[in-house]
Amino acid sequence: MPASAPQPDQTQQSEALDFLHLYHTETGRPGLRQRQAEVYRGRLTLSTEELTFGARVAWRNSTRCVGRLPWQTLRVNDLRHVTDHDEVFAYLLAHLRGALNGGRILPTMSVFGPGVRIHNDQLIRYAGYRQPDGTVIGDPQNTDLTDHLRRLGWAGGAGTLFDVLPLAIEAHGQVRLFELPADAAHEVHITHPDCPAIGKLGLRWHALPVISNLTLEVAGQSFQAAPFNGWYLQTEIAARNLSDEDRYDQLPAVAAALGLDTASRRSLWVDRALLELNVAVLHSFDQAGVRIADHHAVTRQFRHFEALEARAGRPVQGRWSWLIPPMAPATTPLWDRRYDECEVRPNFTLQPPAWRAARPGVCPFHP
């Protein structure tokens, strides 16, 4: 990013000063005064080290993330000089391959230059094709994105339940589409350790969650194109993406595969199917050698994160409803905890979808 605007507004300026203070205090680096003077002169360009620190602290401050313990391990690719479509795409492929790291996933962020924006909310997403009868083939969460990509000229995919969408990369005020090669969108086929019928359902999920619709806010500067990934927690895939009735809605199929009687919910067939689908996702990722967390381990790690933060004299903010898992939450050590929901910077902010921002007068977050 080039120097921020010549006359940064008050908030930007105080955020820049606060950030430099935080950076120099936590890292013990000298030179705070000189850096602050640059803020007053209206031209603060973050060093790669400052940007990296800012991105890590943005993760540390993410109230909705239960996986914050390894925040200091985030790798940051400083690509603020990259502003062309083809180059952005090449670096995104490198990000996907490097972050997968043969399954030993590395939390990674790539920060691109001004004017770059990725319209997809994650780098890997499955198409949701609206059918004339109102049903959806694929992931119903992605119908708007799929429609948007079609309007941008995408011909559509094979029409399976799991068609990987192309990327819409905006740069220099122009949007272009890029298809992901199969090896960049690594997927895991879902099988169950002792129920082969679950494996025959043809379910799968991608290995990497790479969030691409959050703006990184550091030192009063906004980085719109800063996609980042960690690794999945099995409940995200098994207890939400594949289970929610308005997503893949697979619990009835899983129950049938298990031979459960689904006449009455009182038999708890829903819960039994949910449990076995979670077992299947963990088993499949483990078999494929792709790192994945489980809700028991990650919540214990979160308590450890809290203890380390307390030792460092820092308060931990969190949104309890996001931190507890959507399955057996009361069996985890977060159940009886309460958190301060305050948002502090550096942090991430949600971008309105590109297709809504383009329509003036329409609230970007509520269609």
Position 230 contacts ligand ARG (CB under 6 A): yes
Shorter beta-carbon distance to ligand ARG: residue 79 or 233: 233
> Which helix or strand (DSSP H or E) is residue 136 part of?
strand 136-138
CB 179 within 8 A of CB 155: no
Size of the site for ligand ARG (CB under 6 A): 8
Residue 358 C-beta: closest distance to ligand ARG, Å: 24
Let me know if 75 is a catalytic residue. no
When binding is defined by CB under 6 A, the residue of 219, 233, 257, 324 that contacts ligand ARG is 233
Bridge partners (DSSP) listed for residue 128: 138
By beta-carbon proximity to ligand ARG, the closer residue of 38 and 144 is: 144
Q: CA dist 270 to 224, 263, 327, Å? A: 40, 11, 12
d(Cα 218, Cα 209) in Å, to the nearest integer? 22
Question: How many Cβ atoms sit within 10 Å of the Cβ of residue 359?
Answer: 10
Name 121's Cβ contacts closer than 8 Å, sequence gap at least 6.
145, 211, 212, 213, 353
Interface with ligand ARG includes 19 (CB under 6 A)?
no
Residue 236 annotated to the active site = yes
Q: Which of 35, 56, 68, 291 is catalytic?
A: 68
Instruction: To the nearest 10°, report the CA torsion of 350, 356, 360, 365.
Output: -50
Q: For ligand ARG, which stretch binds (CB under 6 A), given 46-54, 229-237, 268-276, 301-309? A: 229-237
Nearest to ligand ARG of 53, 248 (CB atom): 248
Q: How far is the CB of 34 from ligand ARG (least distance, A)?
A: 37
Instruction: Tell me the window of 7-15, 177-185, 231-239, 346-354 that interacts with ligand ARG (CB under 6 A).
Output: 231-239
Q: Which of 59, 71, 205, 231 is catalytic?
A: 231
Burial of 143 (0-12, 13-18, 19+ CB in 10 A): middle
Question: DSSP character for 91?
Answer: H
**Nearest CB to ligand ARG, comparing residues 220 and 230:** 230
Q: Which stretch binds ligand ARG (CB under 6 A): 128-136, 149-157, 190-198, 230-238?
A: 230-238
> Whose Cβ is closer to ligand ARG: residue 8's or residue 67's?
67
Instruction: Count CB atoms within 10 A of the CB of residue 282.
Output: 18
From the candidates 15, 50, 60, 65, which is the catalytic residue? 65
Alpha helices (runs of H) in 263-353, residue ranges in sequence order: 269-288, 295-311, 320-323
User: Which residues, numbered 55-94, are part of the site for ligand ARG (CB under 6 A)?
Assistant: 67
Q: Where are the alpha helices (DSSP H) in the chain?
A: 10-27, 32-40, 48-60, 85-100, 143-151, 196-199, 234-235, 251-258, 269-288, 295-311, 320-323, 354-357
Nearest distance in Å: CB 241, ligand ARG? 5
State yes or no: is 217 an active-site residue. Answer: no
**Residues 199-228 contacting ligand ARG, CB under 6 A:** 209, 211
99/91 Cα distance (integer angstroms): 12
68 catalytic residue (yes or no): yes
Q: Does 232 bind ligand ARG (CB under 6 A)?
A: yes
SS3 122: strand
Which of 15, 50, 217, 236: binder of ligand ARG (CB under 6 A)?
A: 236
- Which 131-160 residues touch ligand ARG, going by CB under 6 A? none
Cβ proximity to ligand ARG, 23 vs 232, nearer residue: 232
| Cis amide linkage into residue 346, ω under 30° from 0 | yes
Mask for 290-319, x = binds ligand ARG (CB under 6 A): ------------------------------
Q: 305 is written with which tokens? A: 């994160």
20-28, 151-159, 232-240, 256-264 -> range binding ligand ARG (CB under 6 A): 232-240
Q: Contact residues for ligand ARG (CB under 6 A)?
A: 67, 209, 211, 230, 232-233, 236, 241
Q: Which residues are catalytic?
A: 65, 68, 231, 236
